[in-house]
């Protein structure tokens, strides 16, 4: 493998080139929309991957934070008169605060118990969104006002393609940087063995909480971006199935691999779009492909592909 491939930012450069060149292949604005959807999902998946892949903690309720971000930009401008951009930041701060408060007690749990506790958190957020009809429109969702920054209105699929791509690049860059920081190393240490990490002087509780908060902020920002792009939010975005979808993206792409999360998100967003030609066989094929790819690529798509050249040598 050439040396430049191993450089930390190689994948970031590749991603930037792909983002820049992809629109040349797009015949219609529908493709811009799907691609923007991939970037948004990838952003949330990268955050979750920092928690799951790097720090080794499970979350089955991550769509809750996604929902908080989405509803922040819906409720802020509509009910409270807060500008969309400020609402986006408020959503991120709220998500971080909730992750911090709830994370303190529940991150002491391990394995399946952590899974059920985070699942409960996600369900609670979805429940509040569904029942507070006055604020959130209940199960039917609510419209979101357009993003206006200094008089410039962000609308149209191509505009949002570039906005979400920019967010994804920043998110990817930060996540890639994490690897070589003391925090990133601490995450890896507590992933491999919590006891060993503790013995080596890593403040385990603090770093778990940090990973949880980082992941929550990523999800919240992705949720805000999606809501502003769609001009509409509904409670499904905070629901259990969306949490499961996010976990599937991370695992399918490869735990711990930042690029893997983008690939996983791309696969899970584009596959249903591609499978719609099969109409009612769509779910059947989607489930089948998930099973087959997990059996044959059990470490995920990207780690599996990364191993290939080494094996031949």
Partner 1 sequence: MAEFFQFLVSGLTVGAVYALVALGFTLIYNASDVVNFAQGEFVMLGGMVTVFAHAAGVPLPLAAILAIVVAVIVGISLYWLAIAPARGASAVSLIIITIGASIFLRGVAQVVFDKQFHKLPSFSGDTPVQMMGAAVQPQSFWVIGGAATVVLLLYLFLERTLVGKAVLATSANRLAAKLVGINTATIMALSFGGSAAIGGIAGVLVTPITLTSYDVGTLLALKGFAAAMLGGMGNPFGALAGGLLLGLLEAFGAGLSQLHLQGRVRLHRHPRRAVRGAAGPVRRRAVERV
Helix, strand, or coil (residue 208): helix
Minimum gap (Å) between residue 200 Cβ and partner 1: 24
DSSP H stretches of helix in 28-110: 29-49, 63-75, 84-106
Which of 144, 233, 255, 262 binds partner 1 (CB under 8 A)? It is 255
Q: Among residue numbers 271 through 310, which ones bind partner 1 (CB under 8 A)? A: 280-291, 294-295, 298-299
Answer for the pair 149, 23: CB distance below 8 angstroms, yes or no: no
Name residues whose C-beta falls within 8 Å of residue 170's C-beta, 6 or more positions apart in sequence.
none
CA gap 130, 11 in Å, rounded: 40
Minimum gap (Å) between residue 87 Cβ and partner 1: 26
Q: 127 or 154, CB closer to partner 1?
A: 127
Q: What is the 8-class DSSP label of residue 143?
A: E
Answer for the pair 229, 70: CB distance below 8 angstroms, yes or no: no
**Residue 74 binding partner 1, by CB under 8 A:** no
Minimum gap (Å) between residue 59 Cβ and partner 1: 12
CA gap 53, 302 in Å, rounded: 13
Which of 72, 74, 251, 267 binds partner 1 (CB under 8 A)? It is 251
DSSP-assigned states of every residue in 283-300: HHHHHHHHHHHHHH-TT-
Applying CB under 8 A, what is the total number of residues that bind partner 1?
Answer: 43
Q: 109 or 305, CB closer to partner 1?
A: 109
Minimum gap (Å) between residue 109 Cβ and partner 1: 6
Q: 158 or 205, CB closer to partner 1?
A: 205
Minimum gap (Å) between residue 293 Cβ and partner 1: 8
Closest C-alpha to 56, from 181, 175, 260, 211: 211
**Residue 10 binding partner 1, by CB under 8 A:** no
The residues binding partner 1 (CB under 8 A) are 52, 58, 106, 109, 111-113, 116-117, 119-121, 123-124, 126-127, 130-131, 139, 240-241, 244, 247-248, 251-252, 255, 280-291, 294-295, 298-299
């Amino acid at each position: 493998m050439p040396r430049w491939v191993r450089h930390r930012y190689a994948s970031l450069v590749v991603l930037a080139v792909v983002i820049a060149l992809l629109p040349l292949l797009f015949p219609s604005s529908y493709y811009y929309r799907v691609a923007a959807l991939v970037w948004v999902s990838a952003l949330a998946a990268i955050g979750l991957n920092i928690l799951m892949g790097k720090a080794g903690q499970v979350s089955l309720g991550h769509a809750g934070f996604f929902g908080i971000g989405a509803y922040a930009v819906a409720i802020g401008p509509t009910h409270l008169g807060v500008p969309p951009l400020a609402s986006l930041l408020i959503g991120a701060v709220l998500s971080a605060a909730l992750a911090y408060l709830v994370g303190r007690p529940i991150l002491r749990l391990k394995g399946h118990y952590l899974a059920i506790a985070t699942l409960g958190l996600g369900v609670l957020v979805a429940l509040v969104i569904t029942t507070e009809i006055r604020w959130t429109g209940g199960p039917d969702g609510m419209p979101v006002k357009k993003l206006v920054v200094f008089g410039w209105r962000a609308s149209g699929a191509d505009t949002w393609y570039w906005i979400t791509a920019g967010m994804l690049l920043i998110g990817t860059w930060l996540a890639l940087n994490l690897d070589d920081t003391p925090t990133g190393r601490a995450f890896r240490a507590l992933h491999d063995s919590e006891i060993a990490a503790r013995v080596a002087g890593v403040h385990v509780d603090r770093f778990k909480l940090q990973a949880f908060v980082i992941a929550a902020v990523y999800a919240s920002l992705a949720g805000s971006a999606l809501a502003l792009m769609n001009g509409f939010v509904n409670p499904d975005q905070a629901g259990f199935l969306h949490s499961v979808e996010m976990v599937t993206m991370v695992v399918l792409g490869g735990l711990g691999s930042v690029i893997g999360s983008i690939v996983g998100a791309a696969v899970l967003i584009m596959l249903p779009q591609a499978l719609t030609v099969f109409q009612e066989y769509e779910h059947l094929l989607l489930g089948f492909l998930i099973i087959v790819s997990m059996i044959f690529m059990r470490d995920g798509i990207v780690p599996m592909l990364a191993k290939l050249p080494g094996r031949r040598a």
